[in-house]
Structure 1
């Protein structure tokens, strides 16, 4: 395929009988036994085995193929997997499942590579659905439009009589037509909302692009989806994750709305094809915050009530024990919070973005959330956002004292080196979206030209976190980008565009190893969800959450990692996905 080099497995392989379960009458009999392949256990010794056996929902045996024979009974389903690879089930530590499912079942614009393709797809969808009073979709890429600012006129030409709203892939930008603006009463006289911006032409008229919370000026006119429709989206999202070898997902932002209602609807199911943690969001619009120094106590009380609904009815595969905080926006529209001003930004030489809630509010919120027993999940992209987030978590430690805490910061696009060193001592996990770690148009056209040059080296650090002793996990941010973990792994290892054989490695000193990524996907992700004692590695007595893949990422050429396919996914010993092999 592309030019290649071998990647060696850094942790020494040990073929051993690394676990077995016996009773007084001898070994128990397995329900399922795989042998003849390579089983990466990701245990503390980096043991590599030949066979794995399952009884009920737990792992019964991991070890040599010869030793596995003792666990075979008359009803054991045995299979020679012929050199295929077994890993613990993967954890996606940052995704949006109902929204992702909506891109599968509704108008999804991800993967389109030109404005013309997007307009064609929107027209085709609108023409196919004349019964819909409004057209909604998502997934378009900012870099396909000049200044990341698509104009309402493009939509007016194809759908002039119904409101249209298309949310960008990043969720931080919206694109609407004139009909939507008119129905919402958004004009040249409309002021920008807090934490939002209306893009305007030279005369001050809205152009059709809405940044951050400004999307809320229009979104309220669109019909809210029925809960049963959102449940279908959620089910599609759960299935998509299982197809990518993911057995656990942290849903990164759930407001008190139809998405929460859908999760409540499915929470009592014992056979969910994912283990799910919800990060509850206290906001009236996505990517914003409603928290002030004066309402912290009331906000946390409401979050506790929301969590209690899930605790009252959810089974052991779903919880709502985390809270999401959007501390800033994104650099592409200059809403990421920076320590120093942007360069050549249209908002002036002093513009450095804003944090979505005051530092006073953030500090108090972190303390109160800890006291209420919540994990804190923070969106932090700019270096100022990262710093104030770490300050808030440090303040919570100083105020609340020693206690179990597993907080994490997601995205981490621009991070000062001195702040990278703070993660491990504070016990904060770095939640990385590794698929974004190459020099695409988002970086070369929409980010680097607006940042001071000294910051370019510190865009999307990765290996620096590992070297500093920080725990690293992987999150896809699906549907912002695919949740195929092997696509992300290839980019993490090479820091190159996976679709361009001639691309050069970008900031190569930040390349992760395959082993770094496997740990991020397995045991580290399980740790983040407080589940490392029951899953995340393949050890006797743990839940039988594992996957079968067709090639070994430790041994294939790095450029071929993205070609690896998930063949089967198991959770609690039950198959939840099977590909056509």
Structure 2
């Protein structure tokens, strides 16, 4: 029997015993929580001791919405533009050229992390960099892409294609020919077709796992496990069989817009669950995109865009009856539906669907997830709690970033709505099971300390982005305890796993993260400077700083 004694300042997230000095682990689960003396008495002579002194031990942190394959690909398989920060097309060119020079054997080139602004670029920009192979430049947010001429030819994007998808999603020049810029559905059609091998996918997932564990996360949700590469679920499964997965992944399988047969689609996902799920990779539901993102003019708003009267965004999955059927069929299989819902119109649509589905299922505890929630009405916040739906909110996105993003939002939806962005406290007040998400790597951070800081301050720490940011919508600030719950026990509940993880309690999986900071009581500026010490999975140290 493997045994370990964990010593430190333990913050359990268990309301009955919130603090302890020691935990005893037997065969990967907690066997005792309490004093160091009692833990030592109960342990066998061969018990390993992990003594973290005056550092703070938390339940392993849980990420409610991320993209594993894409993260690993961006770590080791692409030219990364993310380190540039704000848009700098001259710098982007240097990074892409350097990547091409280092990887002459590649059949195509992908650069990611592009930040859009008012400077509009077309295929000519990429043709200047590379003319003989397909070159794609993907936005950090993942909903837009720029293609060079070779890439357009490879993808079959021509005038007829643009007409089919509409000029909001495939931009064209004065002659009606695609100019290289595409967004939404065409992007999600192109990306899975990019040449990737199963071994590539496995390497990407292992790189992602290393990053997440080194950040204190012991379990994550993959929101659309097939969205980038169709064989990613198989890659997870093979890695688990090989004994290489340490981090648990709860996967939502990608459902295309207005899927023709929701019943058959859920049957497909259920069959994948039976074939591929295990302890460390487990399929829990379906993932759909309702809309795009405000900065790309594609979020489905409740009102028209101010700069484009008569247009309120892209409605991706907008068939009410099909979404109701998808929710109902998922419920029959003990699964939930997880949606990308950025604009207020998308959220209103989804809550209408959930309400109608619940009239059929009678299940008020299906735990369907709405992620991002940029703009939400007071009425829909109330309905989120009433339907038992789960708001996945992004504290890392809450600050007001002047000189571009903030002014852009104001020009699109108005100052009043922009200043009400990203509610969090209101969801708690409505009784909803609030979870934090990072959307990594679509968003460039997955970070415990900054999530806590920004949920309280609604602003970035001074060292980020040169200190230019300002607080936004401060009435939606929440407490430290609420933040910790939104990254531990609440996420476990999202996955119907609260009996197994999310707190340090007897009988639960012994996953922990150790930091040199008391997130509940230390000064908030000290929180922003916290360092990770170790990550523990199944009672064994898998990362040490």
Picking from 266, 279, 283, the partner of 1:316 is 279
In the alignment, what sits opposite 1:5?
none
Matched residue SS, 1:67: helix
In the alignment, what sits opposite 1:213?
185
Picking from 473, 476, 479, the partner of 2:441 is 479
In the alignment, what sits opposite 2:539?
573
Question: CA 1:508–1:278 in 2, change beyond 3 Å: closer, same or farther?
Answer: same
Picking from 104, 120, 134, the partner of 1:130 is 104
* Alpha-carbon shift at residue 45 of structure 1 (Å): 3.2
> Residues 468-512 of structure 1: CA distance to partner in whole angstroms, max 9, x if unpaired?
221111121111122122222222121113314464321111112
Please, which runs of 5 or more residues in structure 2 have no aligned partner? none
Q: Is the 8 A contact 1:381 1:413 kept in 2?
A: yes
Residue 164 (str. 1) matches residue 135 (str. 2): yes
In the alignment, what sits opposite 2:514?
548
Q: Distance in 2 between matches of 1:297 and 1:559?
A: 50
* Alpha-carbon shift at residue 306 of structure 1 (Å): 2.4
* Alpha-carbon shift at residue 444 of structure 1 (Å): 0.8
Picking from 309, 313, 318, the partner of 1:353 is 313
Residue 94 (str. 1) matches residue 65 (str. 2): yes
* Alpha-carbon shift at residue 219 of structure 1 (Å): 5.1
* Alpha-carbon shift at residue 359 of structure 1 (Å): 2.0
Once the two structures are overlaid, the 10-residue window that deviates more, 408-417 or 202-211, is 202-211
Matched residue SS, 1:84: strand
Matched residue SS, 1:395: helix
Residue 511 (str. 1) matches residue 477 (str. 2): yes
Residue 430 (str. 1) matches residue 396 (str. 2): no
Matched residue SS, 1:83: strand
Q: Is the 8 A contact 1:31 1:77 kept in 2?
A: yes
Q: Distance in 1 between matches of 2:22 and 2:132?
A: 62
> Residues 448-480 of structure 1: CA distance to partner in whole angstroms, max 9, x if unpaired?
210044422431111111122211111211111
Residue 306 (str. 1) matches residue 269 (str. 2): no
* Alpha-carbon shift at residue 132 of structure 1 (Å): 1.2
In the alignment, what sits opposite 2:235?
262
Trace 1:486-505 onto structure 2 (pairs within 5 A).
486-498=449-461, 499=464, 500-501=466-467, 503-505=469-471
* Alpha-carbon shift at residue 308 of structure 1 (Å): 2.5
Matched residue SS, 1:280: strand
Question: CA 1:74–1:300 in 2, change beyond 3 Å: closer, same or farther?
Answer: closer
> Residues 108-143 of structure 1: CA distance to partner in whole angstroms, max 9, x if unpaired?
22222222222211110001111112112322222x
* Alpha-carbon shift at residue 211 of structure 1 (Å): 0.8
Matched residue SS, 1:399: helix
In the alignment, what sits opposite 1:450?
412
Once the two structures are overlaid, the 10-residue window that deviates more, 414-423 or 487-496, is 487-496
> Residues 78-97 of structure 1: CA distance to partner in whole angstroms, max 9, x if unpaired?
34422100000011010101
Q: Is the 8 A contact 1:62 1:540 kept in 2?
A: yes
* TM, length-normalised to structure 1: 0.86
Q: Distance in 1 between matches of 2:61 and 2:164?
A: 40
* Alpha-carbon shift at residue 218 of structure 1 (Å): 5.4
In the alignment, what sits opposite 2:121?
150
In the alignment, what sits opposite 1:273?
246
Picking from 379, 382, 386, the partner of 2:347 is 386
In the alignment, what sits opposite 1:112?
84
Q: Distance in 1 between matches of 2:49 and 2:539?
A: 14
Q: Distance in 2 between matches of 1:78 and 1:190?
A: 63
Q: Distance in 2 between matches of 1:76 and 1:301?
A: 46
Question: CA 1:219–1:45 in 2, change beyond 3 Å: closer, same or farther?
Answer: closer
Q: Is the 8 A contact 2:300 2:343 kept in 1?
A: yes
Q: Distance in 2 between matches of 1:425 and 1:216?
A: 33
Picking from 440, 443, 448, the partner of 2:401 is 440
Q: Is the 8 A contact 2:456 2:479 kept in 1?
A: yes
Q: Is the 8 A contact 2:364 2:387 kept in 1?
A: no
Once the two structures are overlaid, the 10-residue window that deviates more, 480-489 or 437-446, is 437-446
Picking from 452, 464, 470, the partner of 2:432 is 470
* Alpha-carbon shift at residue 266 of structure 1 (Å): 2.3
In the alignment, what sits opposite 2:263?
297
In the alignment, what sits opposite 1:18?
none
* Alpha-carbon shift at residue 405 of structure 1 (Å): 1.4
> Residues 145-176 of structure 1: CA distance to partner in whole angstroms, max 9, x if unpaired?
425x4332222122121110122111101111
* Alpha-carbon shift at residue 318 of structure 1 (Å): 1.9
Matched residue SS, 1:233: helix
Q: Is the 8 A contact 1:270 1:315 kept in 2?
A: no
Q: Distance in 2 between matches of 1:251 and 1:223?
A: 20
Question: CA 1:502–1:482 in 2, change beyond 3 Å: closer, same or farther?
Answer: closer
> Residues 522-551 of structure 1: CA distance to partner in whole angstroms, max 9, x if unpaired?
111111111111111111221111111121
Q: Is the 8 A contact 1:193 1:214 kept in 2?
A: no
In the alignment, what sits opposite 2:114?
140
Matched residue SS, 1:158: coil
Q: Distance in 2 between matches of 1:58 and 1:308?
A: 25
Q: Distance in 1 between matches of 2:223 and 2:485?
A: 20
Residue 326 (str. 1) matches residue 326 (str. 2): no
* Alpha-carbon shift at residue 267 of structure 1 (Å): 3.9
Question: CA 1:537–1:216 in 2, change beyond 3 Å: closer, same or farther?
Answer: closer
Q: Distance in 2 between matches of 1:529 and 1:51?
A: 27
* Alpha-carbon shift at residue 364 of structure 1 (Å): 2.4
